Structures are given as structure tokens and as C-alpha cells.
Structure 1
Amino acid sequence: MAESKSVWKREEVKEEDRWAIEDLYPSREAWEKDAEILRHKIEKLEQYQGSLGESSGVLSGMLEEYSSTSQLFERLYVYANQRLHENTADSTSQKLTGEAQVLMTLLNSKTAYIVPEILNIPQEKLNIFIEEDERLKPFTIFLNQIIRQKEHTLTKEMEELMAKIDELAQGPGNIFSMFNNADITFPAITDEEGNEVPLTHGRYAGYLESSSRQVRRDAFMSLYHTYRQFENTLAAAFDSNVRHAVFEARERKYGSSLEAALDGSKIPTEVYDNLIQTVHSHMDLMYRYLELRKRALGVEELHMYDVYVPLVDDVDMKIPFDKAKEMVLDGLAPLGEEYAGRLREGFENRWIDVYENQGKRTGAYSWGAYGVHPYVLLNYQENLNQVFTLAHEMGHALHSSYSDEKQPYLYAGYKIFVAEVASTCNEALLIHHLLKHTSDKREKAYLINYFLNQFKGTLYRQTMFAEFEKKAHKEVENGGTLNAAWLNETYYNLNREYFGDGVVLDEEIALEWARIPHFYTPFYVYQYATGFSAAIAISSKILKKEPGIVEKYKEFLSGGSSMDCIDLLKLCGVDMTKPEPVKDALKVFQEYLQELEHLL
């Protein structure tokens, strides 16, 4: 299948290559039945309004009902959206997702009273409630999290209004998603053999790794020339998304949208700023790597479409999916047999939606609902990058598996700040395994270059994304507008700073901001860079067989949101409030760079 020149229709994909969506709901009718149950549960929750401070029994009863209602909604919402992601052009799935969105708005608006009422209960009285009612003990962390954000919580009426505004605020992201996944099409290109082949989101990365410079250039130009046709529309969507973030931050009395985004995980804004500053102070390593790339490729000019192609072009790394699963299992062996057992369970029980099909959501992710195994969406192509994507997303999936097993629903979901640690730790372990088990000089150079590319793409590029977001939000906070001209110029100049004068900065790269879906989740991407740094630290400890580290790591994986993110990482001896993890990660980059310089 992966060798087909055309993109398959959904119904043409083999069942074993499709995720077991029926494990969530066996049919649309079953979904509708639970949706009706949810509506009744929401009505029951609404009956608690105005009485939470009356007694501990009322409060505990409401919290238990809220937890079960939220869990049911999550299952409904995940199913509807994963159905849509199978084929974003399918009108039935679009309708189902719309219904789920309505249910979310209903739930949020009808429960908007909860936080303000809890905050109106005097602390002394709340302490007595917790002391006298055992049913409240499991909710202590939940209640403390609410109290911590008291100054940023609005009145009941305002919280209801903000919940309704949130539905409208989904608009820019939904518009971008529909445009990027269902509507936009790119001109076909000619491959290395002279065949006309489709250019899609899923195939673009593979074309940029082509040994043919013409294929790389054609794919690059075709993609960005298409985005340029819609730059004003996409700028308007992004501008609206940022404006909502700025609006909500101001209404909730935060100093900035950055502060608001980080506060949910209790991350100081200094962590964000320190990341950018630390990476800036190590730009010389990036420039040095790009100079090596230019020399190894033997080109007079290094263009933006040259920065992903393997530097060793005669290593056969065409990897079928079954082989990819074997490689991941072998690479993650240091985590022990129990971890490997969970990994095999996911491989053998259709947790994964493997291949690209027409209308399928681009990229890759892990998602799921509490009480059901996690899911992984891929658009698998037979290359090394996709093997690492499999390891990455299964890291997320097993993180969820451990957390769901050990934590109650309200604490099972982990914060975004730690979300990328497990996934990237898997990648670091895998690259070490592959390098350890090859003596071939060219294959070793190929693998090291791959890892340096991951470093460049995660620590450097995601930090550049983070800096772009900070500039964009600051522009709106200062009264500016994010039109296409401003966005293109700002993004282009950041590329100049991060890639340096040794690269020909093709003007098309200015449009890259227009295709990044994570920008519609404000201040998300920096956590790839911080998570990468923490993962390098943890994987190093695992590989050095530090006593007890695997069990400590599993304790971290099982923590969910039962502890603050910073404290969770400290379980593994990693302190992200200090610059050392980022600096140490950049030292590893330098070590691999030196080795590659010697090999080439």
C-alpha cells in the first residue's frame, strides 16, 4: 500500500491498519444514546447551582457527578473528532463533530457556576468540609487548583459568558483545520523516475528527503506557492485566534496571554524566556551544523529545501511498518519487559491508524478517552522519520496508559508541559539503540544526521516557533494587527536569525507560519523544546542504568496531573526551573555534531 502512487480512499484501507474506533462506540446509535444520557446528567449538575456552600454532602455529590459527566463527555467528544479525522471531508462526521461541539458548550455553560461558588466558600469552611466528608478527599487536589487561580476567576455570570465565547473562539482553529485538511490541494510534482505524483501534507516531508534536488525544490515551491494564494485569509484566521487569547488573558487579569497560557501548569514565564535566551546563546552550533550540511551535500548554496535531505544518500532505509514496530520494540528495551508488553498490546490490538487516506487529518497524534485504551493517528511513509514518529506517539499513548491506570479521571490527564517528555525519551532511546547496533560508517553517519535533524527541528525550530508566537501575541497586545505582510516579515527575519547567513533564505519560507496547526493552540510549541531537553536528561539516566531510574520514570508516567509538572520531573532528578537541562541537551547536540564532522 505504501508504494501506491495514488492516495487511497478510507474504505480501501485494510481493517488491521485502521484503529479500533468501535472500542469507543460500536455505532452512531450508541453514541446518540450516550449523548442523551449526557444531556440528562448536565441537567442534574445544574440543580446543584447555588447550594455548594450548604454542606460537605452537597459539594461532594456535585463533584462526583461532575467527574462522571465530564468523563462521559470526553468519550463522546473523542469519538466524534476521531471519526472526523478519518476523513475530514465526510459530511456525516462533520455533523457529528458539530454535535459534540454543542455538547461541550452546553456542559461548559451549565457548569460555569462551579468554580465561582467553590471560591465563595470560606477557606476555613472548606477545610471543615474536607475533614468531615471522606468523599471529598479524592477531590482535594482539584479544589486546591481552583483556589490557586482565584484571582483569575470571574463571576458566575461572566464565567457563563466566557464559556459561550469559547465556542465562537474555536472558529479560527476550525476554519484553519478544514482549510488545511479538507480543502487545500497542491499541484502534482515529478518524482525521481519522471512520474507525476501527488503532493500532500503526508508526502511533503518525504519529498524534502529526496536525493533529487529538483524533487525537493519542486515540492517546496509547490507547497508554499499554494499557501501564498491564501495568505490573507490565513492571516485573518490567525489574527482572530491570537485576539481571543489576548482578550481572555486580559479579562482574567493576567499580565499577558503568555502568562495566562503557562499559569494552568504553574510554569513561570521565565522558563519560556530562558529557553529562547539559552538557544540564542548556542546559535553557533546551528550555523556549524548547516555549514557541515552544505559541505557534505557539495552545493555552492544551501537552500531551505536542502536542510532535511539525508547527508548519506546510499543507505537503504526503506522501512515497512512491521519492521518499524520491531525497531521500536528493540529500541525501548531498556524500559523493561512490562513496558514492552504494553507496547505490544497497542501494536496487536489496533490502537494505531496507520496509513494516509483521502481526507485524513494530516500529521500524527495520540489521543483517547479515559476508560478506553489510547489511540494513535499516523500517516505512515516508509522512512526513518516515520519510525521515530511511531516511537514518539506510542510514548504519548503509554504515558496515557500508565496515568489512566493509576489516577482517577480528574487527575489522569497530564499537562502539556510534561506531555512531550515520554514521547521524546522514546526517540532518544531509539537513536541510541540504532547507533549502538551498526558498525557501518555510512549508516552511522546517516543516523547521527537524522538525530541532529531532530535536534534542529525540536530544540531550535520549536524555539523559533515559540519566539514567533511571543512576538505575534505581543503585537496584538500592543494594539497591532497580524496581517500577512507583518507575519511574513517577522517569520522571515526569525529564520534569518536561526539559520544564519550560510543558508539562502528562499522567500517562500516566509509563508511557513501559515501551515503550522499548533499556532492555534497558543504557546504550546515551546514545550516540545523543554520536553526534549528533559527527555535527553532522563534517557541518559536510563542508558547509564542509574539505580531505580526506570521505576522513577514509570512513577512519573503514572503521575497524571496529581502533582505539579516541575515536581513530576523532579521525581526523575530533572529540574526545569534551571537552565541546565537545555544547556546539557545542547552539549549532546555538540557531541553528535563533532562525531558527524569526523565521519564526513
Structure 2
Amino acid sequence: MKTVWKRTEVPAEHRWRLEDLFADRQAWDDEYEAVQKLAGDIGNFEGKLNDADTIRQCFELEDKLSLLTERLYSYASNRHHEDMAEPVHQALSDKVKKLAVRVNEAMSFITPEILDLPDEKLQSLVADPALAKYKKTLEDMLRQKPHILSKAEEALLAQVGNVSQAPGTIFGMLNNADMKFPKIRDENGEEIELTHGRYIQFLESRDREVRKNAFEAMYGTYGKLRNTLAATLSANLTKNQFYAKARKYPSALEASLYGDKIPVDVYDNLISAIHESLPLLHRYMELRKKLLKVDELHMYDLFAPLVDEYKMDIAYEEAKKIVLESVRPLGDNYGTILEEGLNGGWIDVYENEGKRSGAYCSGAYGTHPFVLLNHKDNLSSMFTLTHEMGHALHSYLSDSHQDYRDAQYTIFLAEVASTLNEALLMDHLLNHASDPKQKLYLLCHYADKFRTTVFRQTMFAEFEKIIYTKAEQGESLTHQDFSGIYYDLNVRYHGDSMTVDKDIEMEWARIPHFYRSFYVFKYATGFSAATSFAKQILDEGEPAVERYLGFLKSGGSDYSIEILKRAGVDMSSPEPIRQAMSVFEQLIGQMEELTRG
């Protein structure tokens, strides 16, 4: 498809069915008004939170208010992402963001007021049967007591919410709505507009000139906005430093990890374990250089196909069937829910003009999840499909087995479910590959998953750690600083076999996850945990499946590290990372074996 569809041209069967959330705009408006009223009602509890029954009633209203706001937010945000240049839904998204800030402000008295109670009283509330449903909430409050401010200060922080969203919002509009990329020539000499969705497709071209031109066009476009993008990222750093300092955390990193009760050691262990394993990545770069038969391996060669005359074109309907087959080890119930999701209006499938780039799963408790894709008929998109549906099934099973509050699993856990699906898909494909070229093609794809999800995301995580450390030491960061740090990391990670092109220094400017600070390391830890789960499921069968499904159903009913530990994976040690690296080493060994002679 040479031109990108307009939103109105996308067939109905390839759009998500947001009507399952709100039948129409009037229904959304009615719920918006209801939330406005409830936000006023919750203030009636202020000054009265001193006994179990009143606290329970307040928590119940807080849950209702949070859920309704989540529903409004999910609908408005998803509508906005269908076409980010469309003004009506842009306004709707802004409206609900402002509402969410008002709701947070209205509820901001709850935690500080409860924490004002004497310690003896607080301990008795934790043990009170009337508050059994909220035991973890109260234990969390006690744990976070040193970081909770006075009621007046909490209200003030809640009011700052609108301002704090600015860096991410500005970046999103620049990146998705305003930034236009030039046209480049494809393998057939036809001029095609470069878009976020097409960029990786161009990098996967067999024509090196196409790859090089797409790479230079992408980073040349970002380079023209380098000062604005550096200022936007710096503003995000400042915002997170402000919140960390206001809440008396030693650093923004510790503030980010504290809520999930994840020790900073987990973050540092990841970087250290990956540094230990960089020789494996360097070995893979050397193999990639050999298979591509090039004198110099460039950054734009990282996605180039390594198997001559082999390509897997997989139509969307075929991808759905293969994904369904691949999850059979997880049992019939999992497969039935997945099939319902694939065919039941959960997914927005194809790219259209103005649509948000990338892919994600979102939704609200009580309705099925929604998945945004920008699907291309290739192997990579099939993996994205199973990845996002892994998130969707995690949400579905969590919502089905937990109350609203306990169903909210952490992002640290989220990436496990998505990546486990990918591991099962790869196992299924390798088991059905009879052609050595197809097997090599799949092994290359899997090795690239390790490169992009473990090594690359850890490099991102290290970049974040460095820039936050510098900012917290009082250093100002210009685009030259961001680019220099980013370039040096690329040199270290990719090794001597790689010619690290100067253009890559601007890649930091196009990573949306840097606006969800200290998020990316969870891809690498999640991939490692999923690799361990997949090995257990394929080796042990039913007992491991039961443990894994128990993990999915647990939601956020306990701390992330504990939920994983119960299911059989201990992320407080570097061992799962090392296990993942041993799998990566085996892949490289198999690839080297297939390419000898």
C-alpha cells in the first residue's frame, strides 16, 4: 500500500470497538458529569477518617471515582490516538486529562489524613476485618509514610498535575502529529513517504541504499528539532526531580521503583549482568557482518534480513491463526479468551493518517482490553500481535479474578506476559520449520529480539540512569550532552564489528518511553522472566502452566517481586538475566552452525 489510509477509509472489521466502552459521545458526557459530582462528594469524608467503617466507605467511593475516570480516560485517549491531528478528540483527550488532575486533587486528602492517625491506631486498622479488602493499601500507606506530605502539600502537588503532563504531551504532539518525514525511494525506485510505521520496514529492506536513506532521513528530521527535543526531555527530568525531592526520595530512580517495592539493586543488577554479556552481542554483530557480506556493519544494517531469498509474508488473518496455535501449551481456556479477543473488536489493526505510532494495550476494569497496532503483513508484526495480546490476556484474567484495586498489576509485571507469548510463538515456529533457511531466518529474528528487548532496552535504561545522575548533580543537559552520552553507549554496546554512524546520536530524541521515566528496564527484566517461564512451561507442562496462569490471575494483589517468586522466577537475583543470556548464546551457536562452510 503506497498511500496511508485516512481514518474513514479503515474497514470496520479492522477497527477496535470503542462502543463497548461507551455507546456514544452522550454516554461519555453523562459519565463525565457523574465523575464531576462524585469528585465533590468525596470531600464529605475529609476530617472524618478515624474509624474502620468510615475509611471503608471512603475507599469504596475512591475506587468508584478512579474506575469511572479510568473509563473516561481510556475512551478519550484511544479516540485521540486514532487520528492525533483530529481536533474534536484532541480536545476530548485534553478535557479528561484535566478531569483526572481534579479527581486526584479531590482525593489527595485521604492518604495524609489516615497517616495522621497514631501508629497504634494505624496498626489496628491494618488488622481490622472490616478493612480486609484494603489491607495491602493500608500496609502500603504505612510503608510510604515517610514520603507522604501534609494534606495542604498533597493538594498542591495534585494541582501541579496538569503542568507535569506538559513534557510528555508536547513530545507526543511533535512526534506523532507535527513531525513530517521526507519521501524516499524504495527498492523499485518509487517515491514513498517515510512514516514511523514504515521506518522499520525500510530498515528491513534488502537494498542497502534504501536502508541508508531511511536511516539518514529519520535522524536528519529529528536533528532539525534537536534543541526543542532536548528542552522537552530536560523538562521531563526536571519534573521527576521535583517530585522525588518533594517526596523526600534520594533520587528520581528510587522514587520510580519505590511504589513497586523494587530494590534499586534490580536495576543495577540488570546493567551489570548485561555488561558481562556484551561479548555475546559483539559476537552476534560479527556474525551479522559475515552474513550480510559487508566490509563495514552500519547502524542501518541492524534490521537487514540475514537470509538471502527468504522472506516471511504473513497476512493478518494467517497471523491470528498461527498465534492461536502457538499458545496451546497454556491450555484451552487461555486459547478461547484469546480467540474472542482476536475476533471481538478488541484490536485496531492498521496504520492510518495521524494514528499514534507503535503498539499498545490499554483499557479499563470491567470491559475488555483494547489493542492498538500499526500492522504490516510480516513476521515482526505477528510478534507484535502476540505481544500485545499477552498484555490483553493478563488484564482480562487479572480483572476476572481480582477486585478493582488488586487487579492493577505493575508495569514491572506487564512485560512478562507479553514476552512469554513471543517465546511460545518462536518455539512453535522453530518446531514447524523444515527448511534450514527458514530456521536460520527465525533464529535471526529471535536473536534480534534479544538484541532489541534485552540489550537495547538496557542501553536505554543506562542512558536514563546517566542523564538523571548528571541532572541531580546540578549539570544542565543540552542536545550535545544527550547526543554524546547516547553515541558513546552505542559504541560500547555494539563493539568493534560495528561502525557506529554519527546520525544515531539523535535516537534518544525519538524514544517516547523516556517520558515514562525508568520504564524501559522493565522490558529487559520482563523478557528475562518470560524466557525463564517459557522454559519451565515447555519442560514441565501442567504444573508450570498452573503457576504461570496463577501469576496472570494475581494482578497486583501482592508486590511484583513476590508474585513472580511464587510463580517460580526470582528477579531479585541476576540469575534470570543470566538464564536469558544462556539462551541467547545457544541461538548464536545454532546460527553459526547453520552458516558454517
TM-score by length of 2: 0.98
Give the alignment partner of residue 270 of structure 1, picking from 265, 268, 271: 265
1:18 aligns with 2:15: yes
Compute the displacement of 1:131 (Å).
5.5
Which residue number in structure 2 is paired with residue 79 of structure 1?
75
* Aligned-partner SS, 1:189: strand
Which residue number in structure 1 is paired with residue 340 of structure 2?
345
Q: CA-to-partner distance for each residue in 1:129-153, whole Å, 9 max, x for gaps?
A: 465663x221111111111100011
> Would you say the 8 A contact 2:204–2:305 is kept in 1?
yes
* Aligned-partner SS, 1:299: coil
Q: CA-to-partner distance for each residue in 1:474-498, whole Å, 9 max, x for gaps?
A: 1110101121000000000000000
* Aligned-partner SS, 1:149: helix
> Would you say the 8 A contact 2:126–2:138 is kept in 1?
no
Which residue number in structure 1 is paired with residue 304 of structure 2?
309
Which residue number in structure 2 is paired with residue 176 of structure 1?
171
* Aligned-partner SS, 2:434: coil
> Would you say the 8 A contact 2:323–2:386 is kept in 1?
yes
Cα distance between partner residues in 1 of 2:149 and 2:528:
36
Which residue number in structure 1 is paired with residue 93 of structure 2?
97
Mark the CA change 1:157 to 1:318 in structure 2 (over 3 Å): closer, same or farther. Answer: same
Compute the displacement of 1:165 (Å).
1.4
1:508 aligns with 2:508: no
> Would you say the 8 A contact 1:57–1:133 is kept in 2?
no
Which residue number in structure 2 is paired with residue 29 of structure 1?
26
* Aligned-partner SS, 2:572: coil
Q: State the Cα RMSD in Å.
A: 1.0
Cα distance between partner residues in 1 of 2:126 and 2:138:
10
Q: CA-to-partner distance for each residue in 1:417-465, whole Å, 9 max, x for gaps?
A: 1110000000011101100111110000000000000000011000000
1:483 aligns with 2:478: yes
Q: CA-to-partner distance for each residue in 1:243-270, whole Å, 9 max, x for gaps?
A: 1111111111111110110011000001
Give the alignment partner of residue 515 of structure 2, picking from 510, 515, 520: 520
Q: What are the ranges of 5 or more consecutive residues in structure 1 without an aligned counterpart?
A: none
Equivalences for residues 526-537 of structure 1 within 5 A: 526-537=521-532
Which residue number in structure 2 is paired with residue 413 of structure 1?
408
> Would you say the 8 A contact 2:127–2:135 is kept in 1?
no
Mark the CA change 1:56 to 1:596 in structure 2 (over 3 Å): closer, same or farther. Answer: same
> Would you say the 8 A contact 2:112–2:151 is kept in 1?
yes
Report the residue type matching 1:473 in the other structure.
Y
Q: CA-to-partner distance for each residue in 1:191-227, whole Å, 9 max, x for gaps?
A: 1111111110001111111111011111101100000
* Aligned-partner SS, 2:160: helix
Moved more, 114-123 or 419-428: 114-123
Mark the CA change 1:438 to 1:62 in structure 2 (over 3 Å): closer, same or farther. Answer: same
Equivalences for residues 149-188 of structure 1 within 5 A: 149-188=144-183
TM-score by length of 1: 0.98
Cα distance between partner residues in 1 of 2:125 and 2:581:
50
Compute the displacement of 1:348 (Å).
1.2
* Aligned-partner SS, 1:558: helix
Q: What are the ranges of 5 or more consecutive residues in structure 2 without an aligned counterpart?
A: none
Compute the displacement of 1:585 (Å).
0.5
Compute the displacement of 1:155 (Å).
0.7
Equivalences for residues 196-275 of structure 1 within 5 A: 196-275=191-270
Cα distance between partner residues in 2 of 1:483 and 1:127:
49
Determine what percentage of the aligned residue pairs are the same residue.
Answer: 47
Cα distance between partner residues in 2 of 1:137 and 1:432:
43
1:423 aligns with 2:418: yes
Cα distance between partner residues in 2 of 1:319 and 1:192:
20
1:116 aligns with 2:106: no
Report the residue type matching 2:121 in the other structure.
K
Report the residue type matching 1:97 in the other structure.
S
> Would you say the 8 A contact 1:56–1:130 is kept in 2?
no
* Aligned-partner SS, 2:361: strand
Cα distance between partner residues in 1 of 2:292 and 2:25:
53
> Would you say the 8 A contact 2:547–2:568 is kept in 1?
no
Cα distance between partner residues in 2 of 1:460 and 1:60:
46
Moved more, 524-533 or 569-578: 569-578
Cα distance between partner residues in 2 of 1:67 and 1:439:
53
Cα distance between partner residues in 1 of 2:538 and 2:187:
40
Which residue number in structure 1 is paired with residue 60 of structure 2?
64
Q: CA-to-partner distance for each residue in 1:155-196, whole Å, 9 max, x for gaps?
A: 111111111112101000000000101010100111111111
Which residue number in structure 2 is paired with residue 125 of structure 1?
121
Q: CA-to-partner distance for each residue in 1:498-525, whole Å, 9 max, x for gaps?
A: 0112111110000000000000011000
Report the residue type matching 2:104 in the other structure.
N
Give the alignment partner of residue 300 of structure 1, picking from 278, 286, 295: 295
Q: CA-to-partner distance for each residue in 1:59-114, whole Å, 9 max, x for gaps?
A: 11111111111111100011110010000001000110111011111111111111
Mark the CA change 1:146 to 1:158 in structure 2 (over 3 Å): closer, same or farther. Answer: same
Compute the displacement of 1:394 (Å).
0.3
Cα distance between partner residues in 1 of 2:436 and 2:118:
68
> Would you say the 8 A contact 2:109–2:151 is kept in 1?
yes
Report the residue type matching 1:393 in the other structure.
E
Cα distance between partner residues in 2 of 1:132 and 1:9:
57
Which residue number in structure 1 is paired with residue 391 of structure 2?
396
Which residue number in structure 1 is paired with residue 141 of structure 2?
146
* Aligned-partner SS, 1:197: strand
Moved more, 385-394 or 117-126: 117-126
Cα distance between partner residues in 1 of 2:261 and 2:332:
34
Cα distance between partner residues in 1 of 2:444 and 2:134:
48
1:332 aligns with 2:327: yes
* Aligned-partner SS, 2:540: coil
Compute the displacement of 1:127 (Å).
4.3
> Would you say the 8 A contact 2:266–2:572 is kept in 1?
yes
Which residue number in structure 2 is paired with residue 432 of structure 1?
427
Cα distance between partner residues in 2 of 1:209 and 1:123:
60
Cα distance between partner residues in 2 of 1:534 and 1:203:
31
> Would you say the 8 A contact 2:115–2:122 is kept in 1?
no
Which residue number in structure 1 is paired with residue 42 of structure 2?
45
> Would you say the 8 A contact 2:483–2:505 is kept in 1?
yes
Cα distance between partner residues in 2 of 1:441 and 1:224:
36
Compute the displacement of 1:363 (Å).
0.1
